[in-house]
């Protein structure tokens, strides 16, 4: 019985880590949105892309969120960012440069 509890706890930990998704430490680009402001914590974002993202954040009144790009060029966005913005933001960060 105790082995089952340990296995369940290990499974919960792995699930939590998997669901958490990319972080600043394992992304090539990591953008944090706090109080409607863009903070690039890892990587580089061109001034044009920064401006375009800032317009979207302002227009959609996004107060907080995170955008991460993995080494495999997979883009992850937190749930606080409205779904209707996801594809546009993906396009911006993937074509930046």
d(CA 24, CA 78): 13
Query: Residue 23 has what pLDDT?
Result: 64
Q: Which among 15, 26, 13 has a CA at the least distance from the CA of 74?
A: 26
* Overall pTM > 0.85: no
Task: Give the pLDDT confidence score for residue 44 in this predicted structure.
Answer: 93
Of 21, 25, 28, 77, which Cα lies nearest the Cα of 91? 77
Q: What is the pLDDT of residue 22?
A: 59
Q: Which helix (H) or strand (E) holds 69?
A: strand 64-69
What is the structure's pLDDT at 17?
61
CB 68 within 8 A of CB 23: yes
Per-residue pLDDT of the chain (97 residues; tens, 9 = 90+): 788 888 888 887 777 666 555 566 678 999 999 999 999 999 999 999 999 999 999 999 999 999 999 888 999 998 789 999 999 999 999 998 5
């Amino acid at each position: 019985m105790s082995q089952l509890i340990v296995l369940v706890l290990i499974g919960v930990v792995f699930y939590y880590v998997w669901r958490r998704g990319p972080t600043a430490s394992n992304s090539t680009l990591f953008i944090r949105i706090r109080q409607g402001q863009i903070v690039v914590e890892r990587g580089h974002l061109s001034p044009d892309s920064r401006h375009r993202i800032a317009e979207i954040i302002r227009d959609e009144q996004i107060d907080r969120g995170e955008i991460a790009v993995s080494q495999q060029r997979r883009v992850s966005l937190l749930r606080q960012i409205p779904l209707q913005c996801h594809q546009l933001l993906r396009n911006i960060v993937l074509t930046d440069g």
